[in-house]
Amino acid sequence: MSAPLRGAPETILIVGASLAGLAAAHALRAQGYAGALTLVGDEPHLPYDRPPLSKQVLRGQFCDDTTLPRHPDLRAAFRLGTPAQSLDLDARAVTLADGARLRYDRLLIATGTRARPWPNPDEAGLADVFTLRSRDDAARLSARLRAGPRRVILVGGGFIGFEVASTCRDLDIPVTVLVREGAPLSAALGPRLGGWVGGIAREQGVDLRLGAEIERMEAPGGRLAAVLLKDGARIEADVLVAAIGTVRNVAWLDGAGLAADDGGVTCDGYGRVLRANGDIVAEVFAAGDVARWPNPHQDERLVAVEHWGNAQAQARTAARNMLAGPAAGLIRHDHLPDFWSQQFGRTIKLVGLADGADSLAIVHGSLAEGRFVALYGREGRTVAAASVDSARWLPAYAAAIRERAPFPPFEGAVDQPRIRIEEP
Ligand SMILES: Cc1cc2nc3c(=O)[nH]c(=O)nc-3n(C[C@H](O)[C@H](O)[C@H](O)COP(=O)(O)OP(=O)(O)OC[C@H]3O[C@@H](n4cnc5c(N)ncnc54)[C@H](O)[C@@H]3O)c2cc1C
């Protein structure tokens, strides 16, 4: 473990100028930090919000400027369009791609994730093959959708893919969604509710193919014409969006000696990063999509949570702990994960993590009505709750999840006097 920190920090550096980075900067100033504050970002933009990119921005409902609000007295220097290239823990310095070397007393790693690229580089390089992570990605895809493609192929059964598919239907564009698993959204919601969302997508005209994988793309003259599936099917389309997950932005940390890999940067429960040998680096913190930490809501398993709410909460905790002197004590990051998605005219909300759930109960409403709350249990405890257009019940269940209440925590809701427990 490194030596205990002495003295208040005078220079704080944040690498990753996005949601978590900006939230930390605001929290530092709110707690009275008056020293130098610099945010380094590889994108040329000031911090902006990503959730609208797959929703309102693609539909053309917002202007495409989703810049996050900044406090007028933030007093932060932004080094934008310049990636951090390496970290020297002993010298407490970060080197940028332009050669600048920035010293720090405290460092926050908030470099998030990027879209996982399509695995075949030739196909990934086609002008008609898109991913969606950044504002620039959204601008390019939005322009292409507005040009009226014949058919869009969406690869991937996650939330972003389904939101884009929903937007395509709103724009009256034919869309095929290819999901490798037996149900969409199954990682987050389990097969039962994922299958229900798949049914809604089909009702709204999505050509949903399950257990489907692409063998290759046909692109005569460099323009996408069709995809061939492994089962021999051929689908004509002129746009393909690969929504096949994310990759954590940790390459710049290679050689720094941290416990960082594809699964993220490992930190302790207080947000302090660990060296590869497990020692704590007391002056370096991580927050947001790039961070994984022992999660009290998942039996202290190392978990990375790629959600908007977590990025903000974790950044605030890290900021608080960056400034805490040894006497003030550190606070744990115990935010209960929460997430929302808007698709096919519905709002889905999730609190907790349904991953590993062994039981499910619909506790309000019903799948047939299209409005419900579903609870997830694991080993007799309530671990997550999902709502579709019924979010007003969620806070009560969030409290039950926090308390590790038995599953199900309550019996006898007005609209659900007898709860049936089934497989998730
Ligand atoms: C299209 C889309 C829709 C989403 N919808 C939802 C939703 O509905 N609900 C929800 O809860 N969450 C949603 N999310 C997830 C949410 O946006 C993320 O959880 C959040 O952006 C994480 O913030 P972050 O600051 O940790 O990381 P990021 O937002 O990924 O920011 C990291 C920043 O660091 C930069 N960076 C990377 N490497 C370097 C480097 N070496 N040097 C300098 N800078 C670097 C990156 O370019 C980026 O600007 C969505 C995400 C996307 C992409």
Written as tens digits, the pLDDT of the chain (424 aa) is: 445 566 789 999 999 999 999 999 999 999 999 999 999 999 999 999 999 999 889 988 766 689 999 999 999 999 999 999 999 999 999 999 999 999 999 999 999 999 999 999 999 999 999 999 999 999 999 999 999 999 999 999 899 999 999 999 999 999 999 999 999 999 899 999 999 999 999 999 999 999 999 999 999 999 999 999 999 999 999 999 999 999 999 999 999 999 999 999 999 999 999 999 999 999 999 999 999 999 988 889 999 999 999 999 999 999 999 999 766 789 999 999 999 999 999 999 999 999 889 999 999 899 999 999 999 999 999 999 999 999 888 998 999 999 989 988 777 666 766 778 888 8
Query: How do residues 297-354 score in pLDDT, each as one tens digit?
Result: 888 999 999 999 999 999 999 999 999 976 678 999 999 999 999 999 999 999 999 9
Structure tokens at 161: 């893919």
HEC sequence for the chain: CCCCCCCCCCEEEEECCCHHHHHHHHHHHHCCCCCEEEEEECCCCCCECCHHHHCHHHHCCCCCCCECCCCCCCCCEEEECCCEEEEECCCCEEEECCCCEEECCEEEECCCEEECCCCCHHHHCCCCEECCCCHHHHHHHHHHHHCCCCCEEEECCCHHHHHHHHHHHHCCCCEEEEECCCCCCHHHHHHHHHHHHHHHHHHCCCEEEECCCEEEEECHHHCCCEEEECCCCEEECCEEEECCCEEECCHHHCCCCECEECCEEEECCCCEEEECCCCEEEEEEECHHHEEEEEHHHCCEEECCCCHHHHHHHHHHHHHHHHCCCCCCCCCCCCCCEEEEEECCEEEEEEECCCCCCEEEEEEEECCCCEEEEEEEECCEEEEEEEECCHHHHHHHHHHHHCCCECCCCCCECCECCCCEECC
Among the atoms of ligand 1, which is closest to the Cα of residue 45? 49
Ligand 1 pocket, mutate which of 40, 164, 306 (most atoms under 8 A from CB)? 306
Q: Which residue in 83, 70, 79 sits closest to 26, CA to CA? A: 70
Query: What pLDDT, on the 0 to 100 scale, is given for residue 59?
Result: 85
Residue 153 buriedness (CB in 10 A; 0-12 / 13-18 / 19+): buried
Q: How far is the CA of 238 from the centre of ligand 1 (A)?
A: 28
Q: How far is the CA of 113 from the centre of ligand 1 (A)?
A: 6
Q: Does domain 11-114+246-323 have CATH number 3.40.50.12780?
A: no
Among the atoms of ligand 1, which is closest to the Cα of residue 342? 8
Ligand 1 pocket, mutate which of 14, 55, 95, 111 (most atoms under 8 A from CB)? 111
Residue nearest to atom 53 of ligand 1 (CA): 133
Q: How far is the CA of 307 from the centre of ligand 1 (A)?
A: 9
Query: What pLDDT, on the 0 to 100 scale, is given for residue 61?
Result: 78
Q: How far is the CA of 317 from the centre of ligand 1 (A)?
A: 18
Q: Where are the domains of the chain?
A: 11-114+246-323, 117-242, 345-422
Among the atoms of ligand 1, which is closest to the Cα of residue 113? 30
Among the atoms of ligand 1, which is closest to the Cα of residue 339? 11
Q: How far is the CA of 31 from the centre of ligand 1 (A)?
A: 24
Ligand 1 pocket, mutate which of 38, 45, 49, 50 (most atoms under 8 A from CB)? 50
CA atoms within 13 A on the CB side of 105: 16
Question: Could you tell me the sign of the dihedral formed by the alpha carbons of 82, 85, 87, 91, in that order?
Answer: negative
Q: Rounded distance, CA 100 to CA 46, Å?
A: 20
Query: What pLDDT, on the 0 to 100 scale, is given for residue 65?
Result: 81
Residue nearest to atom 37 of ligand 1 (CA): 111
Query: What pLDDT, on the 0 to 100 scale, is given for residue 96?
Result: 98
Same fold, 11-114+246-323 and 117-242: yes
Instruction: For the domain covering 345-422, report its CATH number.
Output: 3.30.390.30
Q: What percent of the chain has pLDDT over 90?
A: 87
| Long-range contacts of 217-221, Cβ-Cβ distance < 8 Å, separation of 24 or more | 217/120, 217/123, 217/126, 217/129, 219/123, 219/126, 219/128
Ligand 1 pocket, mutate which of 19, 67, 189, 267 (most atoms under 8 A from CB)? 19
Cis peptide before 117 (omega within 30 of 0): no
Structure tokens at 349: 């909300």
CA distances from 212 to 118, 164, 184, 231, 234 (A): 15, 18, 11, 8, 11
Q: Does domain 117-242 have CATH number 3.50.50.60?
A: yes
Residues with CB under 6 A from ligand 1: 15-21, 40-43, 50-51, 53-54, 83-84, 110-113, 132-133, 160, 249, 252, 288-289, 306-309, 311, 339-341
- 299 backbone φψ class: left, alpha, beta (φ>0; ψ -120 to 50): left
